[in-house]
Amino acid sequence: MNQMDVKREKFTLTTPLYYVNALPHIGSAYTTMAADASARFQRLQGKSVRLVTGTDEHGQKIQRTAQEAGRSPQEYCDEIATGFDRLWQKLDIQYDRFIRTTDPRHEILVKEFFQRVWDAGDIYLGRQTGWYCVSCEEFKDERELLEEHYCPIHPNKQTEWRDEENYFFRLSKYQSQLEDLYAQHPEFIQPEMRRNEVLNFVKQGLQDFSISRVNLDWGFPVPGDPSHTLYVWFDALLGYITALVEPGEEPNLENAAQWLPFDLHLIGKDILRFHVVYWPAMLMSAQLPLPKCVFGHGFLTKDGQKMGKSLGNTLDPYQLADRYGADAVRYYFLKEIEFGRDGDFNHTRFINTLNADLANDLGNLLNRSLNMSRKYCNGKLPNIAAEDIADSNPLKQMGQQVGEKVKKAYQQLGYSEACQAILELVRTGNKYIDEQEPWTLYKQKQQAAVEEILYAVLESVRVAAYLLSPVVPQLSTKIYQQLGWAVNFEDQAAIGEKAPYSVHSRWGILPANQPIEKPQPVFRRLEE
């Protein structure tokens, strides 16, 4: 780890480790785009960030799926894991670690963790009977099953009766400690509606859960008893920790601990219980720091309907990214859906939103203002300083407040709220330039007034581009470079230094007389 990382404040966040039973769907992409936006925002703050993503590759479901495909489990996992990485590249995801639970380094760390929990007296051999859903990799309470023992989450999959010897983790031992955690740190489970669900579940009394399976080859053997295989969830959650070990370092808990605790786990609401009940109890047992926040976001629908192959209305994230580009996909899902609630994709609204916000409001405002600046100010930015503009100027007033407002929104994972505040500044810029008519003032030889108007508009566009950069980094880079700034929002290593939030989010830093580029469309209109 370099000296810069040692000195800078750290921020560690994760997506789920995605199960490789199939190529990533739009829901997986949604979580990962949100995580990437948060990671980019934290880097703007000058923090040393570790964004962890990856794949969960063990378990009976994977073994069966590979067999059905006529492949070995490892071959199958290699293919699907590559598919995840390929989509993350298309969506401009700047992850720091991509962990696969089949990584040999992961097995070493899992063994060490298991031994810690064993030494704490929290693992014992017992018997498990009940209805088991292979797709969920989980035993189900009979009262939650559908007719004929079908799974409520996978209604086309019938559960299987199991009666087997398993190793168990003493979850019940941590009931009061978990309740104290939820009471003392209400921010641990977010959003609020998810927190209430968990509190009600825990209040009913926690049962010990099995952490091994028998008659399963695809997974890590239980240390000291190879007739048992570690339960996929026990193994997978630990992937977050393995990912924190620096390349080349020995995989152990001590080396991972330099990046703990996790500041944020971003997950879908369907796996909330594993992350806010099982996971913190396991960490307590191993005497490791607890995550600061677990955020369970909502589900996505298409045209108001649940997506599924049987309905023929799936949304292919690869095709979407190939056709419209990463910025378009990222912007729609993060701006149009309130993070935490269920959200909907509608193709017409997708096209209309992007054209209205990015092509028309932002892109056209930059284009016409730059053209006027080239024409009226000799190809440079206006020869005026921000302090020469009256405090009553509507763009200056709004611009001086928007940075803090957007910062607070990003910190609270309010991506939609952040985008709305930025767009308000952009729309005010369009209204302002239309009302002030700098083209008319130029004809009247009122050069000082023209330059004041153009400076106020261009500086507002710059602020908007900067604040939007966690969501649409490529678009923001184009805007900055047309304004004459050598800033690239894809430059992960330098972004916090070259463009620190405390400076660039502030309205009024556009330098007078800076040469500008020839205006080019920064976001081309999309066609149906």
272-283 per-position pLDDT tens digit: 999 999 999 999
Greatest CA separation for the chain: 89
Beta-sheet pairing, 138-140 with 189-190: unpaired
The conformational region for residue 205 under phi > 0 = left, psi -120 to 50 = alpha, else beta, is left
Closest by CA to 48, choosing from 493, 408, 468, is: 493
Q: Can the peptide bond before residue 291 be classed as cis, meaning omega within 30 degrees of 0?
A: no
Do the beta carbons of residue 165 and residue 126 sit within 8 Å? yes
What single-letter amino acid sits at 253?
Answer: L
- How many domains, in total, are found in the chain? 1
Mean pLDDT of 318-341: 96
Report how far residue 74's alpha carbon sits from residue 88's, in angstroms, rounded to the nearest whole number: 21
Q: Above 90 in pLDDT, residue 217?
A: no
Give CA 287 to chain center in angstroms.
Answer: 27
430 located within any domain = yes
Using CA atoms, how far residue 503 sits from 112, 423, 466, 473, in Å, is 45, 20, 11, 18
What's the predicted TM-score (pTM) here? 0.93
Q: Above 80 in pLDDT, residue 528?
A: no
Determine the Cα angle at 155 with ends 151 and 158, to 5°: 55
191 located within any domain = no
Half-sphere exposure of 379 (CA within 13 A, CB side): 3
For residue 170, name the pLDDT band (cuts at 50, 70, 90). very high
pLDDT of residue 3: 41
pLDDT of residue 457: 98
Q: Above 60 in pLDDT, residue 5?
A: no
Report how far residue 231's alpha carbon sits from residue 167's, in angstroms, rounded to the nearest whole number: 9
Beta-sheet pairing, 209-210 with 160-169: antiparallel
324 located within any domain = no
Report how far residue 39's alpha carbon sits from residue 55's, in angstroms, rounded to the nearest whole number: 19
Closest by CA to 346, choosing from 310, 318, 320, is: 320
Higher pLDDT, 484 or 312: 484
451 located within any domain = yes
pLDDT of residue 1: 41
pLDDT of residue 141: 76
For residue 309, name the pLDDT band (cuts at 50, 70, 90). low
pLDDT of residue 311: 64
pLDDT of residue 324: 96
pLDDT of residue 303: 85
226 located within any domain = no
Q: Above 70 in pLDDT, residue 4?
A: no
96 located within any domain = no
Q: Above 80 in pLDDT, residue 265?
A: yes
CB neighbours of residue 269 within 10 Å: 18
Mean pLDDT of 176-205: 94
pLDDT of residue 127: 87
Higher pLDDT, 336 or 60: 336
Report how far residue 459's alpha carbon sits from residue 514's, in angstroms, rounded to the nearest whole number: 12
Do the beta carbons of residue 523 and residue 363 sit within 8 Å? yes
Do the beta carbons of residue 42 and residue 50 sit within 8 Å? no
Do the beta carbons of residue 381 and residue 483 sit within 8 Å? yes
Half-sphere exposure of 456 (CA within 13 A, CB side): 28
Of the candidate ranges 3-7, 241-245, 503-507, the one whose mean pLDDT is the lowest: 3-7
SS3 16: strand
What DSSP character marks residue 64?
H
373 located within any domain = yes
% residues pLDDT > 90 (the chain): 82
Report how far residue 44's alpha carbon sits from residue 404's, in angstroms, rounded to the nearest whole number: 13
- With residue 11 as reference, give the H or E element that holds it: strand 10-19
Q: Above 50 in pLDDT, residue 2?
A: no
pLDDT of residue 148: 83
Identity of the highest mean pLDDT range in 4-18, 201-215, 390-404: 390-404
486 located within any domain = yes
390-406: per-residue pLDDT in tens? 999 999 999 999 999 99
The radius of gyration of the chain's CA atoms, rounded to the nearest angstrom, is 26
428-481: per-residue pLDDT in tens? 999 999 999 999 999 999 999 999 999 999 999 999 999 999 999 999 999 999
**Residue 489 belongs to what domain range?**
348-504
Higher pLDDT, 497 or 355: 355
For residue 419, name the pLDDT band (cuts at 50, 70, 90). very high
Average per-residue pLDDT in the chain?
A: 93
pLDDT of residue 223: 95
Q: What is the CATH number of the domain that holds 384?
A: 1.10.730.10
Closest by CA to 295, choosing from 273, 270, 265, 335, is: 265
The backbone torsions φ and ψ at residue 509, rounded to the nearest 5 degrees and listed phi first, read -105, 5
Higher pLDDT, 343 or 7: 343
